[in-house]
Structure 1
Amino acid sequence: MKTGLAALLALALSLTGPLQAQEPAGAAIFKACQSCHSLDPGKAGMAGPHLAGLKGRVLGSAEGFDYSPAFRAAKAQGFAWDRERLLGYLADPDAIVPGGWMSPPAGLRAADRAAVVDYLFTQ
């Protein structure tokens, strides 16, 4: 019986190929954000600022992006992106930066927002 099971497992692996690392959930969810944001600080002309090095970065401080007056005010106050602030922003942008000009993708659950924050904070 054990030999038959081992043979069946070997056959299944040969048909499916090697096991590959699965994409983090946050990376998959972030794909919806890529129409406006990039993880490449050198990519210009997007609707939103680049999000590379976001953890701890002062709001409204990405070079080369024309921020709303609300983000310029947040920058002047020295507010920085931390986990709680970004989670709140993704849930309700106007509650964190009123007039900040962003609409998050519809239908993000709390777990989705947490996965995106975890992903962004590793980039």
Structure 2
Amino acid sequence: MRLIHGLLLSGLLSFPAAAYAEGDPEKGEKVFRKCRSCHEVGPDAKDKSGPALNGILGAAAGASADFSYSNALQSAAAEGLVWDEESLTAFLTKPRDFLKGTKMSFSGLRKEADVADIIAYLGQY
């Protein structure tokens, strides 16, 4: 799936990125610096030690066919996990609490505003 102009290219409509979070995408870009060692976003984004995050909002978990996800994430994906604002907020706040067995080593974002900002930032892609 790919998010373009607020539409998911799977035949289904999605809400515009602004509807996902009350955050500030410009501030979210700064917060995303913490993520760049493992993740990329943007037109030339590629998988690194973490998957590229283009189109993550509204996407099914484990959607990148070229990335080797943890067993925990594969199980969650099989159970229907979708990366919406609620699930991303929980995951970005405490990844290991949200998804026991995740490969993601990041401990999480402490500030609610940072989480909202990064979700708004990711919603642009």
Q: TM-score, normalised by structure 2?
A: 0.71
**Alpha carbons of 1:64 and 1:99: their partners in 2 closer, same or farther (altered >3 Å)?**
same
The structure richer in helix per residue is 1
Unaligned stretches of 5+ residues in structure 2: 1-24
Q: Which moved more, 1:30-39 or 1:92-101?
A: 92-101
Q: What SS does the aligned partner of 1:29 have? A: helix
Following TM superposition, where does structure 1 have runs of at least 4 consecutive aligned residues deviating by more than 2 angstroms?
40-45, 103-108
Relative CO higher for 1 or 2, CA cutoff 8 Å, sep ≥ 6? 2
Percent identity, aligned pairs only, is: 34
Instruction: Look up the match of 1:26.
Output: 28
Instruction: Look up the match of 2:53.
Output: 51
Unaligned stretches of 5+ residues in structure 1: 1-22
* 2:96 counterpart of 1:94: yes
* 2:70 counterpart of 1:68: yes
Q: TM-score, normalised by structure 1?
A: 0.72
Q: Tell me the number of residue pairs that the alignment of Structure 1 and Structure 2 aligns.
A: 101
Q: Deviations over 1:42-73 (max 9, x none)?
A: 64451100100001111112121000000110
- Rg larger in 1 or in 2? 1
Whole-angstrom distance in 1 between the partners of 2:109 and 2:99: 20
CA shift, 1:41, in A, is: 7.3
The structure richer in strand per residue is 2
